[in-house]
Structure 1
């Protein structure tokens, strides 16, 4: 799976529309192999991003958990620490 797609479920505050859309875009890019599609494929690409974003939004709204919501700042610091440990 693409490393740029981030977990969006169970955060406080909840995932924004921009975050959902960015994840959908990364997913479609990965599936299609296009970073930027040609004009001939642009409409299909945009439609796929819209469809994936809609499904992701539905999924996030329907998931349930008993766990406490994660803090975005704490999770971001953990990711930075993992990166520092990995890349120096």
Structure 2
């Protein structure tokens, strides 16, 4: 899976529409193999992004968990720590 797609469930506050759209765009780019579709494929590309964003919002709204909500800053720091270990910076 694309490394730019981040988990969006169980955050407080919940994922924004922009975050869901960005993840959907990355998914469609990965699946289609292109970051900018040709003019003939642009409508299908954009439609796929909007459909996946719509479905993802429904998934996040309906998802049930008993885990406490995650904090974005704490999760971001964990990711930075993993990057420091991986890349030695």
* Consecutive unaligned residues in structure 1, runs of 5 or more: none
* Consecutive unaligned residues in structure 2, runs of 5 or more: none
Structure 2 distance, partners of 1:76, 1:67, is 18
Runs of 4+ in 1 over 4 A off after TM superposition: none
CA-CA distance at 1:78 after TM superposition: 0.3
With structure 2 as the length reference, what TM-score do the two structures score? 0.97
Q: Match of 1:6?
A: 6
Q: Match of 1:87?
A: 87
CA-CA distance at 1:64 after TM superposition: 0.4
With structure 1 as the length reference, what TM-score do the two structures score? 0.98
Structure 2 distance, partners of 1:33, 1:2, is 11
Q: Match of 1:60?
A: 60
CA-CA distance at 1:45 after TM superposition: 0.3
Q: Summarize the alignment of residues 1-88 of structure 1 with structure 2, pairs less than 5 Å apart.
A: 1-88=1-88
CA-CA distance at 1:67 after TM superposition: 0.6
CA RMSD of aligned residues (A): 0.5
Structure 2 distance, partners of 1:37, 1:84, is 34
CA-CA distance at 1:75 after TM superposition: 0.2
